[in-house]
Structure 1
C-alpha cells in the first residue's frame, strides 16, 4: 500500500510517500480501507517532533473508511462496515489497523468524508463545551480562530447550548464564515481583549476556547470574568511560556486547563456518547461540516504547509484513492 512515512522530524518535506507492506489485523483490531483522513495540527506536532514518537511512523490520528477484515475476537464489526476513528495513528495511508474498541460505526446519513472531517474535532468540541466547561444558555463564550475547523464546530455547538459567541478571525472572508456558523460578534486579534470587555459590559466571558496559544494567551486571560476558565486546547502559534499561578489569582481566581481528547474518551461509554451526539447533529442537519480542501495522499506536505500558514478555513482532508 501507499503511505506517508516520517523518518526524521522536520518540516513538511519530512512527509514522504512510500510503498510499504499492507498491515495485518491482529486480535481485537480492524483492517480499514481509508476513504479519507483528517489533517490536524496534532499531525504537525508529531511531524516536528514536538510530541516525540518512535520512528519511522505514519501520521494521521483521524479517518474513516470501510472494514475489509477483522482480527480474532472482534464481535461488533464485520467486513463491509463503515467506520471512523480518532486517536489511533496511521491515517495517512491507503489502509490502517484500528483497535475495535476505538472504532465508531458511521450511521446512515453521514458520508465517510464528513465522518473523517468531524470525528476528532467534533468530539474535541463536544468535550470542551460539555465537560471542560459546561456551556449554559446565556453564557458569553470567546472562541479563537473561529473560522478554522475547530472554531466553526465550537461556534455551532456553543450556539446549540444557548451561548452568546464572540469569535476572533484574521480576515473579512473568515469573519463571514464565523458569522454564518452562528457567531454573534466577530473581532480581529488586535486589541481583542479590550473589545471583549466592551462587548460584555466590562464583565468578560465565562470561558475562552484557545487553540492559538502563545499569540493569544495573555489576551485570553484578560478576557475572562472572575472565576472564568481558559481552555488552552492547542498551540497553533507556538507553545505558551511557563505561567506563574499567582497570575490567575490577580486576575480574579481564574481557572486554566490544557485538555486533550484522550482523557475525555477514556472509556468506551464516553467515546460513544460524544460520537453519537456529533454524528446525530450532522445527520439531523444541526451541525454543518465545512471541508475546505481535499488533497491527494501524495500532497500531505502541501496540506501541512497550507494549515500552518493559515491559508485555509474549515477542515482539510487527505484522500488516498
Structure 2
C-alpha cells in the first residue's frame, strides 16, 4: 500500500482525497519509485474536472521525481537507487508508484529532485514549443501568455537565450516584475492594457512571428491580432476555457495565419524524443540559461488547496507537492 491522492468522481478540488492505495510489485518493463517531489500542472486540473477523460478512479498527477526501489523484468539502463524523473504519466500524486521504465530519465548530478519535478512537464512543453512547433530563430519576436507561470518562466528565459525578442503577458504588477526578471524584454499587464494594441506598438505595427498561448479562450482571438502575416498561434492550453474557431476564414482575414494545438503526447511520444528533450532541458538549467523558480510547495495531503491556488491564478513559477 501507499498513500495517494485519489479522484473517484469528477469535479472541483474537493473531489481529491488522500487515501491508502494498493501498490503491486513492478511488472515487465516497469520500475517502482519512492517519490521525493511531484509537479503540479494545469493538465492535472483538466483530468480532475473531466475536460480530459481519465478512467475513474485514478491517482491524480502527471509529473514527478524520485528514487528507483525495484525493477521489473526486462528493464535495462536503470538500477535500484537511481534518481529519475518523468512527465506525462498519470498517477504522480503518491508517496510511491509504478511507472514505465522507458518514460523515465536520469536526473543529472547537480540538479535536485525538486528542480527536476518542477521542470519535467513544463520544461519539455517549452522545449517542443520553442524547438519543434515553431523553431525560434535569433532575431524573431515572440509573445508568451502567462509569462510568470511555471511554463512561462522557463520558456521566456530559454527563448531569450536563443536570441529572440520576448514579449510576455501577466495579470498583476508583481507577476509583470517576475516575468521581466526571467527573460522578457517587455511584459504587458493584460488587466490594465490592451495586449494586442500594445504588441502592435512594440513591433512597429508588424506583429510577432509566433504567439504561444496556454490561456485559451480568453486570449485566443486577440492573440491572432498580434501576429504578422503568415505567423503562427500555438494554442497549448485551456486555462480560461476551450478554444473554438467557428469560421476558419477568420485566419485569412487576419493575415493567412496558422494555428496549431500541439501536445506533449505527439512531440515526446518516443523514448528518443523524450531523452533528446530532457537532455536539452537539463543542459539549459545546468548552464544557467534557465533559472528554475519554485513559487510554492504543498504537502501531498494539501493537493486540493494547491489546485485551488493554481486555478485562482494565485501561483507563480512552478508548484510542487512533497510526499
Contact in 2 for aligned 1:23/1:95 (Cα 8 Å): no
Q: TM-score, normalised by structure 1?
A: 0.98
1:52-67 superposed matches below 5 A:
52-67=53-68
3-state SS of paired residue (2:58): coil
Contact in 1 for aligned 2:147/2:170 (Cα 8 Å): yes
1:1-321 superposed matches below 5 A:
1-189=2-190, 190-320=193-323
Contact in 2 for aligned 1:146/1:152 (Cα 8 Å): yes
Deviations 1:71-117 (A, max 9, x none): 00001111100000011111100011111111000010110010000
Tell me, in whole angstroms, the C-alpha distance in 2 between the residues paired with 1:84 and 1:48. 26
Tell me, in whole angstroms, the C-alpha distance in 1 between the residues paired with 2:309 and 2:13. 10
Q: Which runs of 5+ in 1 are unaligned?
A: none
3-state SS of paired residue (1:235): coil
Contact in 2 for aligned 1:294/1:318 (Cα 8 Å): yes
Tell me, in whole angstroms, the C-alpha distance in 2 between the residues paired with 1:312 and 1:266. 29
Tell me, in whole angstroms, the C-alpha distance in 2 between the residues paired with 1:63 and 1:315. 12
Tell me, in whole angstroms, the C-alpha distance in 1 between the residues paired with 2:56 and 2:160. 42
Tell me, in whole angstroms, the C-alpha distance in 1 between the residues paired with 2:163 and 2:309. 33
Tell me, in whole angstroms, the C-alpha distance in 2 between the residues paired with 1:241 and 1:107. 41
In the TM superposition, residue 284 of structure 1 has moved relative to its aligned partner by 2.2
Deviations 1:254-282 (A, max 9, x none): 00001001100122111111100111111
Q: Which runs of 5+ in 2 are unaligned?
A: none
Deviations 1:36-89 (A, max 9, x none): 110100000000011111110001110000000000000111110000001111
In the TM superposition, residue 292 of structure 1 has moved relative to its aligned partner by 0.7
Q: TM-score, normalised by structure 2?
A: 0.98
CA RMSD in angstroms, aligned pairs only: 0.8
Tell me, in whole angstroms, the C-alpha distance in 1 between the residues paired with 2:144 and 2:246. 21
Tell me, in whole angstroms, the C-alpha distance in 1 between the residues paired with 2:294 and 2:25. 31
Contact in 1 for aligned 2:173/2:189 (Cα 8 Å): no
In the TM superposition, residue 22 of structure 1 has moved relative to its aligned partner by 2.2
Tell me, in whole angstroms, the C-alpha distance in 1 between the residues paired with 2:86 and 2:70. 16
3-state SS of paired residue (2:98): strand
Contact in 1 for aligned 2:145/2:152 (Cα 8 Å): yes
Tell me, in whole angstroms, the C-alpha distance in 2 between the residues paired with 1:67 and 1:89. 17
